[in-house]
Structures are given as C-alpha cells and as structure tokens.
Amino acid sequence: MAESTYSLDKEALDERIGHFLGHGATTGNFSTGQQANIDRVREEGLMNFYNAYDWTFLTPSTTLSITADDYDIDLPDNFGWILGSFHYSTDDAYNTLKMTSVGRIMELRAGSDATGIPREFAISVKSNDASTTARYEVLLYPTPGSAYTLNYRYNVIRDAITTTQYPLGGALFRTVMTEACLAAAEAQLDDTIGLHENRYRMMLQDSIRIDKMNKPKFFGKNLDYSDEPVDLYSRNRDCTYNGSLPS
C-alpha cells in the first residue's frame, strides 16, 4: 500500500524543527549537537501528542499463535496492555477467553495439569535483568491441547522514529504533530507557553474529534444477564405496586 504523499516523515519533521530552532532547514547540514537537540524536541513533541488521547492508530489488531503444550507465550516487544480479551479465530467456534489474575492461573495449574481448550488467561510481566524494559507474556489455562490462533487488540509502546520512518498517525494528523513538536521546541527556547502551544491545543481538539469517527457510537444495551439465560422476549416486565398489578 502506497504511503500518502502528505505523510510527514522524520526528515521533513526535522527540517521544520531545525528551522524553528535556528539550525537551518537542511537535515544534511545539521551538526551532531544540533541533530541531537532536534531529536530530543521531536520525541518530546510526539510523545505529548501520543499521550494526549487514546488514539485508534495506537491500538492495532493482531493474532497470537499458540501450539500444543505451550502455556506461557511471549507478547510483542511493543505490548503495553491488552484491550478487551483474546478471541479464537472464526475456524474455532470457542468462547472468548476470560481474563483473570496471575495468582488464579497458578492456583488452577497447581490443582490440575489438565490440557484442552484454554478458557482463562492472565497477563504477566516477565522477569528481566534490567537490560531491557518490561516485557509481557500471556499465561493460559488449561494447557493448550492443540494449536490455536487467537485474535486480540493491544495498546502499543511507541518507538522513536528512524530516518526512513513516519510518525504514527500518518497524513491525517500531519499538522497537529508538527505543531506538537514546534510547541516543544518553543518551550525549550523560551521556557514558556507560546503561539505554537496554543495552536497545538486547538488542533488537538479537532484531531480527537476526527479520530472518534473510527470508534463505535453505540455499544449495545447496558444489560447484564450473567446470572440467568438471555431471553429478551419472554421475560416478565410487568410492574407491581404493593405486590399487585395495577388495574
């Protein structure tokens, strides 16, 4: 799929930041110190934009392949937190997995080493030696008896962009991301809120409104039938007064 010609890549964004900071507008002419300064400003500005709202482009859908007897499975390195639950693929007509605690999974495993179709899961932080930041894994119960494919959505931990990459959000949010970076540059130069910060805040509201168009407007009725069968039509909805139906 071709990238939009309006998309803002790292070089174009650095040129705008460099020009504002007085370093010129040609990336190849930036000194090592100037580029390092631009990098700091760019990442601060983009982080401010990413953290301003629960953007849909930061919540991708993906799949997790599990094999028989594999009950602890690594999640992607950029995994932040899960959105919703794990769902079996359309080829496997099984119920959605129930999220529980790590302690609950350990308790179930201690009580039985059963294998079968996983029904419950927990997200656990993997042990590490501080050579990396936190990494996550999913713990399943019971132990998978066969191979399955699970679908899920998660919030990503963003990476700094490299020379040939684009900021997350794409062409749709080109201007507001630029203003977020210029606002960060403005604060670095003058240590104050200025023109670009005010522009960024105004554009941010419009950007949030646009992103909301990708979210559902209606989530269904707020009903809970967890303790009884769902029967919307045969249920008795008559009201009583002092135990009697009004005439």
> In 127-216, at which residue ranges do the beta strands (DSSP E only) sit?
136-141, 143-144, 148-156
Contacts of 205 (CB under 8 A, 6+ apart): none
What's the whole-number mean pLDDT along residues 178-192? 90
Same domain, residue pair 116 and 131: yes
176 part of a folded domain? no
2 part of a folded domain? yes
Whether 177 has a pLDDT exceeding 50, the answer reads yes
| Structure confidence at residue 1 as a pLDDT band (50, 70, 90) | low
What's the whole-number mean pLDDT along residues 4-23? 92
Same domain, residue pair 91 and 152: yes
State the pairing for strand pair 115-116/143-144.
Answer: parallel
What's the whole-number mean pLDDT along residues 171-176? 94
Q: Among 53, 74, 93, where does a domain finish? A: 53
Q: Among 156, 185, 201, where does a domain finish? A: 156
141 part of a folded domain? yes
Using one digit for the tens of pLDDT, what is the confidence trace for 36-74? Answer: 999 999 999 999 999 999 999 999 999 999 999 999 999
DSSP string, 36-47: HHHHHHHHHHHH
Same domain, residue pair 109 and 128: yes
Using one digit for the tens of pLDDT, what is the confidence trace for 191-247? Answer: 777 899 999 999 999 999 999 998 876 545 554 444 444 444 334 444 444 545 455
Same domain, residue pair 66 and 148: yes
Angle, helices 10-21 vs 174-190, to 10°: value is 30
Contacts of 237 (CB under 8 A, 6+ apart): none
Q: What's the pLDDT score for residue 244?
A: 52
Residues in the chain: 247
Q: Among 128, 156, 184, where does a domain finish? A: 156
Same domain, residue pair 144 and 63: yes
Same domain, residue pair 98 and 19: no
143 part of a folded domain? yes
Same domain, residue pair 36 and 61: no
- The pTM (predicted TM-score) of the whole model is 0.72
Is 138 within 8 Å of 73 (Cβ atoms)?
Answer: yes
41 part of a folded domain? yes
Same domain, residue pair 28 and 101: no
Is 96 within 8 Å of 158 (Cβ atoms)?
Answer: no
User: Residue 128 sits in which domain range?
Assistant: 56-156
Total domains present in the chain: 2
Whether 161 has a pLDDT exceeding 90, the answer reads no
Same domain, residue pair 40 and 65: no
Same domain, residue pair 62 and 49: no
Using one digit for the tens of pLDDT, what is the confidence trace for 67-104? Answer: 999 999 999 999 999 999 999 987 777 999 999 999 99
What's the whole-number mean pLDDT along residues 151-164? 88
Number of H helices and E strands in the chain, helices first, is 5, 9
91 part of a folded domain? yes
Same domain, residue pair 75 and 147: yes
C-alpha torsion 234→239→245→247, nearest 10: -110
89 part of a folded domain? yes
237 part of a folded domain? no
Same domain, residue pair 76 and 144: yes
